[in-house]
Amino acid sequence: MYSEKVMDHFEHPRNVGEIENASGVGTVGNAKCGDIMRIFLDISDDGIIRDVKFKTFGCGAAVATSSMATELVKGKTVQEAMQVTNRAVMEALDGLPPVKVHCSLLAEEAIHAALWDYAQKKGIVIEGLEKPKSDIHEGEEQEEEEY
Ligand code: FES
């Protein structure tokens, strides 16, 4: 039921780990299953994602999609990374079973949360990027205040 690519990225996930003093870190949780994903981005001064690492405390599909998502954003500009949607990640993995589609959302959300963190730190606006809803670092009160 899983494609060969999903199995490959699950068994040999790329870019697992952490980046110290990362340019941006995003942590998101999946409300459906409680799984958690964290993405670290190292972004150069000219906005290129030089390195990316992830940690996923979640199911196999979440691990595979994190792995593929990190491969897709590596070396890209911040704007290009915005194009890495969960659909793009799933296509790159040759699909996921329908019940596992929600797992792929974590990767997109974690990348967006890490980009948001980067933008906040740099004081810049990334076009099309919205404040992450499920960043578990965010307190509820804070979310209310900012809207
Ligand atoms: Fe939780 Fe897949 S079941 S992310």
Per-residue pLDDT reduced to its tens digit, 53-105:
999 999 999 999 999 999 999 999 999 999 999 999 999 999 999 999 989 99
Probe target for ligand 1 pocket from 33, 38, 90, with the most ligand atoms within 8 Å of CB: 33
**Centre of ligand 1 from the C-alpha of residue 123, in Å:** 33
Domain ranges of the chain: 4-125
> Of ligand 1's atoms, which has the minimum distance to the CA of residue 62?
4
Rounded to whole angstroms, the Cα distance separating 96 from 99 reads 8
Largest CA distance in the chain: 45
Catalytic residues, which ones? 33, 103
- Which residues approach ligand 1 with their CB closer than 6 A? 30, 33, 35, 58-59, 61-62, 103, 106
**pLDDT over 60 at 23, yes or no:** yes
> Of ligand 1's atoms, which has the minimum distance to the CA of residue 60?
2
Higher-scoring residue by pLDDT: 140, 49: 49
Q: How many other C-beta atoms can be found within 10 angstroms of the C-beta atom of residue 88?
A: 16
> Of ligand 1's atoms, which has the minimum distance to the CA of residue 59?
2
Length of the chain: 147
**pLDDT over 50 at 31, yes or no:** yes
**Which residue's CA is the closest to the ligand 1 atom numbered 4?**
103
Rounded to the nearest 10 degrees, what angle do helices 60-73 and 4-11 cross at? 90
- State whether residue 21 is helix, strand or coil: coil
pLDDT value of residue 139: 43
24 contacts 117 by C-beta, under 8 angstroms: yes
Structure tokens at 60: 């196999």
**Which residue's CA is the closest to the ligand 1 atom numbered 2?**
103
**Centre of ligand 1 from the C-alpha of residue 7, in Å:** 15
50 contacts 141 by C-beta, under 8 angstroms: no
Can you give 44-91 as a three-state secondary structure string? CCCCEEEEEEEEEECCHHHHHHHHHHHHHHCCCEHHHHCCCCHHHHHH
Instruction: Give residue 144's pLDDT band: very low, low, confident or very high (50, 70, 90).
Output: very low
The CATH class for the domain spanning 4-125 reads alpha beta
Gyration radius (Cα) of the chain, Å: 14
In whole numbers, what is the pLDDT of the chain averaged over residues? Answer: 90
Rounded to whole angstroms, the Cα distance separating 54 from 76 reads 16
pTM of the model: 0.88
